[in-house]
């Protein structure tokens, strides 16, 4: 891993905590095994929960008998649909289409039908096994084509009920199995076609994949009658809090969620997942219950949308891009989950950061009888970038242009419109792609069976920009940062500590960042969309500045200085040039006796507008990467020789963490591109629900060189000019790999690039060449 060069770093703040590779503050407890995850926690009186799930993909429940289970040893409660008649049991932040447990119908294999709470795990498992269910089997639509056919079984009926946080403007009614559509048009497609244009037109397939965080979904729930307590591994505690409150008719503040460390999320723990069923089970049992999914259960709790896409790109014969027409169908499974948002983001990513005369995007979110699909790191962008970028490369080849030159000519420049009414481009894409190309040895002599590819894209990042934070400084000048960002391995607690330490000029060792507890931690919209450093970090910066203002105010009084801008803050002290007082002395002076504490509040909210997605994003996350690959034409096996990615972060708060983010995203991108694919039978059975059959990348699949180039132009809206990262490389790597294959004449239209798929394509291309 090469370090950023000096001139790339000269914008870094001069001294202090920011811009420094501080060790992870959660490192020691994790490495020593002391860190606590939900599965490690015990609450007094806690029971063990086991979910009873559907074995069929679509059917009406004709009989559900839990009497044997209820009578079994150790069983305290069995939750079924009929326990939920006193509440409106449907949830879903985008579309409220999902019952806590199946009421009268099941829509996918793995859908919860009942849940058992027992004194031991073994008793809960045994009782769940004894539950009897019978169905009237309904026809199954286990894939997009079946679900979109004229005679498709319709998976949801009744009116579409909007969820509490869909953020999609007017939610239209369902059209067959299409639960949401998004469209985006510019110019007039009909008027720009011309006879000598280059036209590239293909259909593309992206597979269903699983987020595969090491830790599965886990919740402990307790319902006291007037309050619900949850210990949950959720990425968005405050959105879960709202949703649980709505479901159980409680004020938001009567739901309290603690979020310990997460063993990875990648989107799988965004929004509400296992919390409603755990809360409902605890309510019935009248005791706390813990539910910990097995891997096979988490794989049917959420996944990434598989997609079909038809894209047509046209260009002039000299490679100037003219138009793009895109149709997208995303398989959201049996319940919408975050599907509508994923659909809109995919639509936004479809045209890529290029100048067009006309574009048309129509993206559809489709129900099928498979497990629900939701967020997954760089959603939408990962789906579309390889499609769009492989078409740009195909055009370059046909126009006789180098892919890098093709992009120099067509890429948007800083300040140009990306999406009408949205934020203009806030990055230097051409500068970034040049860096990636240089680090790949672009233009060097080609080796046999090796190809190189680059790709560029943008991801609308930041989500809804609402975050709050509190910074508290005690009388010894110890600092606690209360911020809702979930620590899921990305290092957010370390970054928040660095921001506070920088503002307050105190050592990192005096700053602590505890877990989120919604009773005490201020509101934060969510941990996702690369937003925490930028948005929540900004709130922390403001909260720390508020503490600093209080310190200066008191110091001004001590020094008898009216204008505190004449005072200097140096290493935890304030000085007027002659005298100096430590923060601790100032606090004791302010309150007298043993002192008190200073509390600063920081708030980020939409500036001016409504904070809607259309006028966003908070920033455009740059998705730029390159790859060199080698193909074994005899087996179709692809080896990734090297990768290179750009982290265009404005200012790296912790450069090492930025690099780790890009490396993780790169490896995940390699998984999405080469290996990962959830397989369903036509009856909707999940065929590969363990690591034995579902292939994720391992350390052995790492390229020999993974180069992360940190770009710091100081142009981000976050603290110290920073902007988020961590998703860009995931969107860009599959595209770079596909383009590297295209570079040696193997154009691919379906992921993952399994050896068999690549080998077959090579045979197909050879046949075509023979017949010419």
Partner 1 sequence: MLVPSFEMHVAKSVEDAIKLRSEFGDDSSFYAGGTELLLVMKLGLTDLAHLIDIKHVEELSSISIDESGVRIGAAVTYREIENNPILKSDHPEFVQMISGVANLRVRSVGTLGGNLAFADPASDPATFLLAVKGELEIGSVNGKRRLVPMAGFQTGPYQPDLAENEMIVSIRLPRNLAGGIVVHERMKLKERPNITVAVFAAVANDKVTEARVAIGSIGLVPICIPEVNKSLEGASRATLSERLRQAAEIASTEITLFDDANGSVDYKRHLVKHFVEKVARRAIEAVLLN
- Which spans of this chain sit near partner 1 (rule: CB under 8 A)? 121-122, 125, 294, 634-635, 637, 679, 687-688, 691-693, 695, 754-756, 759-760
Report the nearest approach of partner 1 to the CB of residue 572 (Å).
48
Helix (H) or strand (E) holding 328: strand 321-333
Nearer to partner 1, 612 or 763 (CB): 763
Return the beta strands (E) in 536-684 as ranges. 568-570, 573-575, 580-582, 598-604, 619-631, 638-648
CA–CA dist 589, 445 (Å, integer): 71
Looking up tokens 């998004």 gives: 182
Which pair of tokens denotes residue 389? 């970028």
Please state the closest distance from residue 186 (CB atom) to partner 1, in A: 43
Burial 121-133 (b: 16+ CB within 10 A, else e): eebbebbbebbeb
Rounded Cα distance between 335 and 373, Å, is 8
Report DSSP state, residue 32.
T
Task: Calculate Rg over the CA atoms of the chain.
Answer: 27
Least distance in angstroms from the C-beta of 695 to partner 1: 5
Question: Smaller CB distance to partner 1: residue 541 or 689?
Answer: 689
Q: Which two structure tokens, joined as six digits, stand for 217? A: 């979904």
Q: How far is the CB of 192 from partner 1 (least distance, A)?
A: 42
Q: How far is the CB of 756 from partner 1 (least distance, A)?
A: 4
SS (H, E, C) 416-479: CCCCCCCCCCCCCHHHHHHHHHHHCCCCCCCCCCEEEEEEEEEEEECCCCCEEEEEEECCCCCE
Smallest distance from partner 1 to CB 706, Å = 22
Whichever of 145 and 756 has its CB closer to partner 1, that residue is 756
CB of 117 to partner 1, least distance (A): 16
Smallest distance from partner 1 to CB 143, Å? 17
Our CB check for partner 1 shows the closer of 191 and 681 to be 681
Judged by beta carbon, residue 149 or residue 691, the one nearer partner 1 is 691
CA distance 127 to 122: 9
Provide the Cα torsion 458, 464, 465, 466; round to 10°.
-160
Quickly tell me which residue has 């999902």 as its tokens: 98
Nearer to partner 1, 423 or 695 (CB): 695
Q: How far is the CB of 698 from partner 1 (least distance, A)?
A: 8
Rounded to the nearest 5 degrees, what angle is found at the Cα of 147, between the Cα atoms of 732 and 343? 35
Cβ proximity to partner 1: between 129 and 519 the closer is 129
- Measured in Å, how far apart are the chain's first and last C-alpha atoms? 46
Alpha helices, DSSP H, located in 210-291: 237-247, 275-285
Identify whether the C-beta of residue 390 lies closer than 8 Å to the C-beta of residue 319. Answer: no
CA triple 486-488-489, angle to 5 deg: 135
Q: How far is the CB of 122 from partner 1 (least distance, A)?
A: 6
Q: What is the DSSP letter of 238?
A: H
The residue (of 1 and 687) whose beta carbon lies closer to partner 1 is 687
Measured from the CB atom, the residue of 562 and 700 that comes closer to partner 1 is: 700
User: Among residues 412 and 741, whose Cβ is nearest to partner 1?
Assistant: 741
């Amino acid at each position: 891993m090469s370090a950023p060069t000096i001139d790339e770093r000269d914008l870094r703040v001069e001294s202090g905590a920011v811009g420094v590779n501080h060790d992870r503050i959660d490192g020691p407890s994790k490495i020593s095994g002391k860190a606590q995850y939900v599965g490690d926690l015990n609450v007094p009186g806690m029971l063990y929960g086991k979910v009873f799930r559907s074995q069929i993909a679509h059917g009406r429940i004709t009989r559900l008998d839990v009497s044997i289970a209820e009578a079994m040893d150790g069983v305290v409660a069995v939750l079924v649909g009929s326990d939920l008649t006193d509440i409106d049991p449907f949830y879903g932040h985008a579309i409220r289409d999902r019952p806590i447990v199946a009421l009268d119908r099941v829509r996918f294999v793995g859908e919860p039908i009942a849940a058992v709470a027992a004194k031991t795990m073994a008793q809960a498992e045994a009782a769940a096994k004894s539950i009897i269910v019978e169905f009237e089997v309904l026809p199954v639509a286990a894939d997009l084509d079946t679900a979109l056919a004229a005679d498709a079984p319709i998976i949801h009926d009744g009116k579409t009920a909007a969820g509490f946080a869909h953020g999609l403007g007017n939610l239209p009614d369902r059209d067959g199995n299409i639960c949401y559509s998004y469209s985006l048009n510019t110019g007039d497609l009909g008027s720009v076609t011309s006879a000598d244009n280059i036209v590239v037109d293909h259909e593309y397939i992206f597979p269903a994949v699983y987020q595969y965080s090491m830790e599965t979904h886990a919740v402990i729930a307790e319902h006291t009658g007037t309050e619900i307590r949850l210990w949950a591994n959720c990425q968005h505690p405050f959105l879960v809090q709202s949703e649980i409150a709505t479901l159980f008719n409680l004020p938001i503040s009567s739901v309290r969620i603690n979020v310990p460390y997460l063993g990875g999320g990648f989107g799988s723990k965004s929004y509400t997942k296992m919390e409603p069923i755990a809360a409902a089970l605890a309510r019935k049992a009248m005791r706390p219950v813990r539910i910990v999914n097995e891997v096979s259960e988490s794989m049917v709790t959420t996944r990434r949308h598989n997609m079909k896409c038809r894209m047509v790109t046209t260009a002039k014969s000299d490679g100037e891009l003219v138009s793009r027409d895109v149709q997208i169908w995303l398989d959201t499974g049996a319940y919408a989950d975050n599907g509508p948002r994923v659909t809109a983001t995919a639509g936004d990513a479809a045209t890529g950061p290029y100048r067009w005369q006309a574009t048309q995007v129509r993206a559809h979110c489709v129900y099928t009888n498979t497990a629900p699909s939701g967020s997954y790191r760089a959603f939408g962008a990962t789906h579309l970038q390889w499609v769009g970028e492989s078409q740009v490369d195909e055009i370059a080849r046909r126009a006789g242009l180098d892919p890098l030159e093709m992009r120099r000519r067509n890429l948007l420049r800083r300040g140009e419109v990306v999406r009408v009414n949205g934020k203009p481009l806030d990055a230097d894409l051409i500068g970034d792609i040049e860096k990636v190309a240089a680090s790949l040895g672009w233009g060097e002599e080609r080796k046999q069976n090796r190809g190189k590819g680059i790709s560029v894209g943008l991801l609308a990042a930041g989500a809804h920009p609402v975050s709050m934070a509190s910074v508290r400084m005690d009388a010894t000048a110890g600092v606690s940062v209360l911020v809702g960002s979930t620590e899921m391995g990305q290092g957010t607690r370390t970054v928040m500590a660095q921001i506070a330490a920088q503002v307050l000029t105190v050592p990192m060792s005096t700053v602590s960042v505890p877990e989120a507890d919604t009773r005490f931690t201020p509101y934060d919209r969510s941990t996702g969309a690369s937003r925490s450093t930028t948005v929540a970090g900004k709130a922390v910066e403001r909260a720390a500045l508020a503490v600093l203002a209080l310190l200066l105010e008191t110091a001004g009084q001590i020094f008898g200085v009216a204008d505190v801008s004449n005072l200097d803050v140096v290493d935890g002290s304030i000085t007027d040039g002659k005298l100096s007082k430590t923060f601790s002395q100032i606090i004791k002076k302010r309150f007298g006796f043993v002192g008190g504490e200073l509390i600063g509040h920081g708030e980020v909210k939409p500036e001016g507008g409504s904070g809607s997605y259309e006028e966003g994003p908070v920033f455009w996350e740059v998705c730029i990467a390159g790859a060199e690959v080698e193909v074994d034409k005899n087996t179709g096996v692809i080896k990734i020789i090297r990768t290179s990615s750009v982290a265009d972060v404005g200012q790296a708060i912790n450069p090492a963490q930025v690099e780790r983010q890009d490396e993780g995203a790169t490896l995940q991108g390699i998984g999405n591109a080469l290996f990962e694919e959830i397989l369903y039978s036509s009856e909707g059975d999940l065929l590969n629900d363990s690591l034995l059959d579902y292939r994720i990348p391992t350390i052995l699949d790492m390229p020999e060189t993974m180069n992360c180039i940190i770009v710091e132009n100081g142009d981000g809206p976050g603290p110290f000019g920073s902007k988020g990262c961590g998703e860009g490389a995931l969107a860009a790597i599959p595209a770079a790999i596909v383009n590297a294959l295209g570079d040696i004449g193997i154009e691919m239209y379906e992921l993952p690039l399994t050896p068999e798929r690549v080998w077959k394509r090579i045979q197909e291309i050879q046949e075509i060449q023979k017949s010419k």
